[in-house]
Amino acid sequence: MLDQIKGLHHVTSMASDARRNNEFFTKKLGLRRVKKTVNFDAPDVYHLYYADEVGTPGSVMTYFPFPNIGKGRHGVGEVGTTVYSVPEGTLGYWEKRLADEGVAGLSREETFGEKRLAFAGPDGDGFALVEDKADGRAPWAKGGVPADEAIRGFHSVQLRLRDGGATEELLKFMGYQEVDKSGNVRRLAVKNGNGADIVDIESLPGAAFANLGAGSVHHVAFAVENRARQLEVRKALMDTGYQVTPVIDRDYFWAIYFRTPGGVLFEMATNEPGFDRDEDTAHLGEALKLPAQHQHLRPYLEQHLQKLED
* pTM of this prediction exceeds 0.75: yes
Tell me the pLDDT tens digit for each residue of 246-277. Answer: 999 999 999 999 999 999 999 999 999 999 99
Tell me which amino acid residue 77 is: G
Strands 248-249 and 253-259: antiparallel
Yes or no: say if 284 and 35 are a contact pair by the CB < 8 Å rule: yes
The answer to whether residues 12 and 219 touch, using CB atoms and an 8 Å cutoff, is yes
Q: In this predicted structure, what is the pLDDT of residue 309?
A: 85
Per-residue pLDDT of the chain (310 residues; tens, 9 = 90+): 999 999 999 999 999 999 999 999 999 999 999 999 999 999 999 999 999 999 999 999 999 999 989 999 999 999 999 999 999 999 999 999 999 999 999 999 999 999 999 999 999 999 999 999 999 999 999 999 999 999 999 999 999 999 999 999 999 999 999 999 999 999 999 999 999 999 999 999 999 999 999 999 999 999 999 999 999 999 999 999 999 999 999 999 999 999 999 999 999 999 999 999 999 999 999 999 999 999 999 999 999 999 998 7
Q: How far is CA 182 from CA 68, 102, 175, 185, in A?
A: 39, 31, 21, 5
Paired residues of 222 in beta bridges? 8, 268
Contact 277, 49 (CB under 8 A): no
The residue type found at 60 is V
